[in-house]
Amino acid sequence: MAQRDRVGGDGPDRPVRTCVGCRSRAVQSDLVRLVAVGTAIMPDTRGRRPGRGAYLHRDRRCFELAERRRVWSRAYRRGAGDAGWDTSPVASLFDDAPHGGSGRRSR
């Protein structure tokens, strides 16, 4: 049986994924899954869409790093050229979120 990586030393084993932006490892539930639909990168918040997934922190800096490093062709293992990927659906995740903090509203 294969041994899973763990981020923390306590608690049950949970799946760990690598953010394509900052390349740090985190528990899968802390990341948003992204899938390629044609040449568009779509957020898969429920984790149910078919196909290869890439994971990204819910942080604009990680998204900007991924864009700068042009990771999409490698992450999805297909070539679409440097400017061939439409990442506007992912960018809208960060446009809708409040700036700064954890994204939670204060009462």
pLDDT, tens only, 5-24: 445 555 568 999 999 999 99
Torsion, Cα of 47, 48, 52, 58 (10° steps)? -20
When pLDDT is averaged across residues 25-54 and rounded to a whole number, the result is 93
Residue 5 in contact with residue 25, Cβ under 8 Å?
A: yes
**Is pLDDT above 80 for 91?**
yes
- Residue 10 has what pLDDT? 54
Query: In the chain, pLDDT over 90 holds for what percent of residues?
Result: 59
| pLDDT tens, residue by residue, 60-87 | 999 999 999 999 999 998 875 656 899 9
How deeply is 72 buried, as exposed, middle or buried, from its count of CB atoms within 10 A (0-12, 13-18, 19+)? buried
